[in-house]
Structure 1
Amino acid sequence: MTAELVRGQNHPLSEARLEVRVSAGKPIVAGATLSDEHGKVHGVEWVAHPGAPTLPGLEVSRQAAADHRLAFDLDAMPQAVHRVSVLLALPSGVGGPVRFGTVAAPFLAVTGLDGTEIASYTITGLDFESAVVALELYRRQGAWKVRAVGQGYAGGLAELLTDQGLPEAPQLARSINEAVAQGLARSVAAPPPRTPDADRPRHAAAPAQGPDQAHGGTAPRSASGSGSPQQSPYGTSDPQHATRADHGAAPQPGPASADPPAVAPSAAPTADGPVNYTHPGRQTAAPPPPPPTAPEAQPGQPAQPVAGDATGWSMDERLYNQVWGMFEDLARTTAAYRSAVDFAESRMEQELDKVLSDPRNRIGGQGDAAREAARAKHTQLVERAREALERDLAQLRAEADVVELALPPAYARWDNPVWHGYRVPMEIPMALRLGDLHLPEGEDLRIPMLVRLPLERGLWIDSGCSGSGEASLADSDELRALALETAVALAARILAVYPPGEFSVHVIDPAGTGASALAPLVGSGVLAAPPAAGAAGVADVLARLTQRVDLVQMAVRGGASDALPPGLDPSEQLLIVNDFPHGFDDRAVTQLRYLADEGPAVGVHLMMVADRQDAAAYGPLLDPLWRSLLRLTPVPDDHLADPWVGHTWTYEPALVPPGSQVLQQVLTQVATARRSWNR
């Protein structure tokens, strides 16, 4: 029976190896501090955070995410440690929410390695706080307990760490925020939460098994669209895990405890019943129309996949949610497999250590037999986990094949037949495909990488040798050409999915080195103006776009959008910058940073085609610019992370197949529609 805690309540822990699962609905930072019997944190080496995620007996997430799994081995904690505080904070300076009062109430669950919930806590009553001590795991008379704390700090991480007695609190808070900002720059943003009835028909999973059975499969998709477990550094994963983003149960205050609460409860049950602790942000709208139903599967067989079987008001929204569900499924089932393999290896090492610790077993047949038995058990556990993974991958491959053929142009690859019947749309789609993502365990399974429209952050197409993937082996000139080709393909896709007159593209090519790659855009006449060349051209384009941002900002803030100058182009704008920093002086760099920071909110978007090493002379001046952009590569490269588990995903760009004329045909239709609209 799970104990649903309220603020100040505690509960005994019967297991030493635990996980604390966090669900917040928005990317947050998770960390932990170790303190002695007096509650003192002795130094930065006693703090686990994204920049230093591992301490003895403790591991936290390496980046900000909507869901976290913190792993604990209480038996491995140093004897001097008497309290472990679980910290949550909102990322600082990265454009997200600035206080917990604007996001869904964070939910935490303390679970065993088999996924069984021991205690849960929904942190309510937060408003202006941006950091909170969520839970405490503490020793009491030789046993460990968990206490719901929920102590918030309006001053953020720095105030929280200072309150815990850490002299270097401000410096550590800055380093944590820097580590998080770097992580967010490489992360794929999570989609908006789906409604609770967004589960899709899935194949029946095997029953949940214990740690010794090392099950790595998935369970039926939960209310959040996920049934697969996440990774546990200390053992197997929970096959029946469901993301708790929509958890809305009202916790019941438990019996009085012998231990004094750290913080007095903020609410108590009334005479009419228990207090409703559901956060207002978790309320859902009316349910959308039901999705198509899948054909009935034969008993014992997985359900046949159907395109658009997720929840949504339209087919585009259902397909969008389905693609994100596949992405999440692959992330979690791979995490389950990796966790099961880690458990098998850890168990084998423990058994071998036990055998070798007895001098009588180091020689002779008894020791050899014990070692062979340990290795055989390891092989059996790994094979069982691989079988479960292959079942899940086979189902996802079948679903991907069905979904890919049903995607609209905005979501489809360039080789999808849907482009041959392309017509200029009259409405802006929900999202745009930037490329494909895959993991090493399923090289042939590609998940479309979709981002919502309008774009909330700019793009940086990396034209340099990144040191990983194919980019480390490619010729530098070839990489530059491929990077601009990728930018052109993405710009053409954006133009193709917007209605006529709703999107304009500008190009800065100071030295004219991109003439060949830019030819499809220039030749078709879809650009707002010819590519700007030289320092004068750079200055002119940047001046016009920064002026547009200023004017629209003033109009929006003053509530006078009808007072904009008559010649102002009201469409969204995309600026492609090639060969940066050639042709840029300090003023131009400042304007570029301004467009990256302020432009997306008023419809001005940035696409940089650049090698970061080329701009090294600017030093830290450009760091905020790089961090604000989503990095993409012109060749497959493993640099992106998912928002749930934090896997390293390989990204492949959405390029036009060699010899295909689809790009020219699409751009010709776009140009014709634009000319008709301008008449």
Structure 2
Amino acid sequence: MTAELVRGQNHPLTETRLEITVSTGDPVLAGILLADARGHVAGPDGVVHPGAPRRPGLEVPGRAAASHRLTVDLGALDETVHRVTVALALAAGAAGPDRFGATAAPFTAVHGPGAAELVSFTLTGLGPETAVAALEFYRRQGAWRVRAVGQGYTGGLAGLLRDQGLAEGAGALAAAAHEAAAPVPRHATASRTAGDGTPAAVAPPPRPGEPAPATAPPPAAPPMAAVPPAAPSGQASEPSAPPQPLPAGGGRVDYRHPGRAGGPTAAGPPSPQQASQQAPQRSPQQDPPAGPPRPVAGDAEGWTPEERLYNQVRGMFEDLARAVAAYRSAVSFADARRERELGQALADPRSRTGGTAGRARAEAEARHAALVTRARAVLDRDLAQLTAESEVVEPALPPAFARWDNPVWHGYRVPMENPMALRLGDLHLPERPELRIPLLVRLPLETGLWIDGGRTGTTADLAAGPGGTRRAAAEAAVALAARLLAVHQPGDYTLHVLDPAGSAAASLAPLLESGALPGPPAAGAAGVTAVLSELTRRVDLLHMAVRGGAPDALPPDLAAGEHLLLVNDFPHGFDDRAVTRLRYLADEGPAVGVHLLMVADREDARAYGPLLDPLWRSLLRITPVPDDHLADPWVGHAWTYEPALVPAGSRVLVQVLRQVAEARRAWGR
């Protein structure tokens, strides 16, 4: 059964020898890009295009046309190749449209052995783009998957290549591809030279509705099913609409792409003799395993176990974002299609009487339910695999990445090297709230953090009661500061605390009880001024040393390593000069290792007017209670954030901080 993908959706592959068919309304050139684990194309050798149409395991057409076949043998690719992107670009100089929005929506399909169609994807919603990344094959846990991308580029093929990491030579490579792919006139019979030097006839395209003529496949390509006729030039497809309206009589609608009107015809699947002659023999060990691959912790790319786990968590986040985005897109499409079908059925006065309208409504609802059910089944499959992966990855995380209830904290030892990232909390989406992805940020922190102690209006916030959110914010700040101290080497992280009114005494008790904070927090206006003056001086001197090229010419009293300033109950105890210094530290401090962690309610700072707006915008806002405030512009999700708090009644925080304090005293001797 063919899986019809929507933008962002992925599908597992059980075959590695594939053929991709492309059907468009106007001539396009097709190419393949090979990228590493970071998604970067190494150079011109990583681009298969009409000017260089063959690489080991890959072949693309040498001309621009409305129908294409591309062959891909994923098993023959080098192990350094992790992403294979199928790219399309409108033919330069062709008489057709100058943008994809003015032609029929391109249709792509992936076929396996025997011409079996595995997945299909119609690239709807394109507008001024002249190039598009259509499909992407990528490695995931030792197996290959295919993703419907549909990312368009107004900068043409050159812009697409630059976005794929080809920083130099993208324009020249795009020009060479267009020059080699100069299309043969579509409405004339001509001859051209085939790969073996013999002339090959170029037949005029079939009319819409007529079967496609049987043609010989390219020399190196297996004889798959003939490509169906393309939609006529200039016929645009709606971004989210089926190509045919609902008949007034309630008849069945043909939702196939116009380019698939004839279906697989003429050429048919290859015979066993042909397949044995053209396909290389594979040993049983090369066959992909049945079913989804078993999750393994740390199977991503990276030089160290920590980096591999970090990249794996990022991959889980991206997979969850894409899977949910594809599901929501499918549901949105189903809703829009149902409304359109009902509107079209009721627009005809003759269908408003009798049972016609009822039948049309029932059929529209049935098609809607079928599409939503199918989309939910795909989502549940992907979420089940991610859940299984999370159950394997979570116990294997190092302390910097782990929750406080992870056993790794009970066996904590002072680290010998600093971490590459830090866990701030968890993220999840409403489609599967129990599936939580760690929110990891790279270290050193590029921006300060602001823990919002104000009322958020969420259920958890209301349950905390008056003042409960502010207490929870101080506890979240202490847990985060303790984590930063614990995952760094002794002496590499220094904590400063400002609590002008002394309102966080209970929350700060673990830091004082363990000795991780050598003295009581600075209080009152005088304490605020003293700490801010010291850190401002440090930032000034470090910036001067860096600009002057003399980082070693620093005063002996300037402590080395990173510094974290925890400010509780801002702006209490801050005058205008102190506010100015705090803004300076927020802007200039991270570049020289001085970081800001604030606990504040923005409503309390409204007396300063717009003066503090730049400060709020420069900080990453997190909350002490679950809240869906983290917006993701990539796919449009609102992620629910949950802070990384210490379990109630647990002494693990004090135990860890005591080891930190002891190691710091030993280091200072």
Q: Normalising to structure 1: TM-score of the pair?
A: 0.61
Q: Counterpart amino acid of 1:541?
A: V
Instruction: Show the counterpart of 2:313.
Output: 323
Instruction: Show the counterpart of 1:592.
Output: 582
Q: Deviations over 1:251-296 (max 9, x none)?
A: 23525999xxxxxxxxxxxxxxxxxxxxxxxxxxxxxxxxxxxx99
Instruction: Show the counterpart of 1:254.
Output: 178
**Helix, strand or coil for the counterpart of 1:650?**
strand
Taking only aligned residues, the RMSD between alpha carbons, in angstroms, comes to 3.7
Taking the aligned partners of 1:661 and 1:375, their CA distance within structure 2 comes to 56
Instruction: Show the counterpart of 1:360.
Output: 350
Q: Counterpart amino acid of 1:254?
A: H
Instruction: Show the counterpart of 1:470.
Output: 460
Instruction: Give the alignment of 1:54-133 within 5 angstroms.
Output: 118-119=88-89
Structure 1 residues 403 and 591: CA distance shift in structure 2, 3 A: same
Instruction: Show the counterpart of 2:423.
Output: 433
1:144 and 2:102 correspond: yes
1:209 and 2:209 correspond: no
Q: Deviations over 1:379-404 (max 9, x none)?
A: 00000000000000000000000000
Per-residue deviation, 1:562: 1.7
Instruction: Show the counterpart of 2:339.
Output: 349
Equivalent pairs, count: 451
Taking the aligned partners of 1:140 and 1:120, their CA distance within structure 2 comes to 7
Instruction: Show the counterpart of 1:543.
Output: 533
Taking the aligned partners of 1:625 and 1:673, their CA distance within structure 2 comes to 35
Per-residue deviation, 1:560: 1.5
Taking the aligned partners of 1:577 and 1:663, their CA distance within structure 2 comes to 20
Structure 1 residues 406 and 355: CA distance shift in structure 2, 3 A: same
Q: Deviations over 1:541-591 (max 9, x none)?
A: 101000000011111111112211111111211001101111000000000
Per-residue deviation, 1:210: 4.5
Per-residue deviation, 1:209: 3.1
Q: Deviations over 1:583-637 (max 9, x none)?
A: 0000000000000000000000000100000001111111111111110000000
Q: Deviations over 1:614-672 (max 9, x none)?
A: 00111111111111111000000001133632311000000001111110110000000
Per-residue deviation, 1:228: 5.0
Structure 1 residues 495 and 363: CA distance shift in structure 2, 3 A: same
RCO greater where, 1 or 2, for CA within 8 Å and sep 6 or more?
1
Structure 1 residues 388 and 13: CA distance shift in structure 2, 3 A: closer
1:398 and 2:356 correspond: no
Structure 1 residues 443 and 244: CA distance shift in structure 2, 3 A: farther
1:615 and 2:624 correspond: no
Q: Deviations over 1:178-209 (max 9, x none)?
A: xxxxxxxxxxxxxxxxxxxxxxxxxxxx9323
Per-residue deviation, 1:674: 0.4
**Helix, strand or coil for the counterpart of 1:582?**
coil
Q: Counterpart amino acid of 1:613?
A: E
Instruction: Give the alignment of 1:135-534 within 5 angstroms.
Output: 144=102, 207-210=118-121, 221=138, 228=147, 245-246=164-165, 250-251=173-174, 252-254=176-178, 299-468=289-458, 470-471=460-461, 474-527=464-517, 529-534=519-524
Taking the aligned partners of 1:120 and 1:405, their CA distance within structure 2 comes to 49
Structure 1 residues 524 and 457: CA distance shift in structure 2, 3 A: same
**Helix, strand or coil for the counterpart of 1:436?**
strand
Q: Counterpart amino acid of 1:209?
A: S
Taking the aligned partners of 1:226 and 1:318, their CA distance within structure 2 comes to 20
Taking the aligned partners of 2:161 and 2:508, their CA distance within structure 1 comes to 47
Per-residue deviation, 1:245: 3.8
Q: Deviations over 1:99-122 (max 9, x none)?
A: xxxxxxxxxxxxxxxx9854289x
**Helix, strand or coil for the counterpart of 2:541?**
helix
Larger radius of gyration: 2
Taking the aligned partners of 1:671 and 1:343, their CA distance within structure 2 comes to 58
1:582 and 2:493 correspond: no
Please list every run of 5 or more consecutive structure 1 residues that lacks an aligned counterpart in the other structure. Answer: 1-11, 16-22, 27-114, 122-137, 147-205, 234-240, 259-294
**Helix, strand or coil for the counterpart of 1:639?**
strand
Instruction: Show the counterpart of 1:667.
Output: 657
Kept in 2: contact 1:230–1:336 (CA 8 A): no
**Helix, strand or coil for the counterpart of 2:425?**
strand
Instruction: Give the alignment of 1:598-637 within 5 angstroms.
Output: 598-637=588-627
Structure 1 residues 141 and 429: CA distance shift in structure 2, 3 A: closer
Q: Deviations over 1:143-166 (max 9, x none)?
A: 9389xxxxxxxxxxxxxxxxxxxx
Structure 1 residues 356 and 436: CA distance shift in structure 2, 3 A: same
Per-residue deviation, 1:226: 9.0
Taking the aligned partners of 1:493 and 1:143, their CA distance within structure 2 comes to 51
Structure 1 residues 220 and 443: CA distance shift in structure 2, 3 A: farther
Taking the aligned partners of 2:631 and 2:477, their CA distance within structure 1 comes to 21
**Helix, strand or coil for the counterpart of 2:552?**
helix
Kept in 2: contact 1:13–1:144 (CA 8 A): no
Kept in 1: contact 2:399–2:487 (CA 8 A): yes
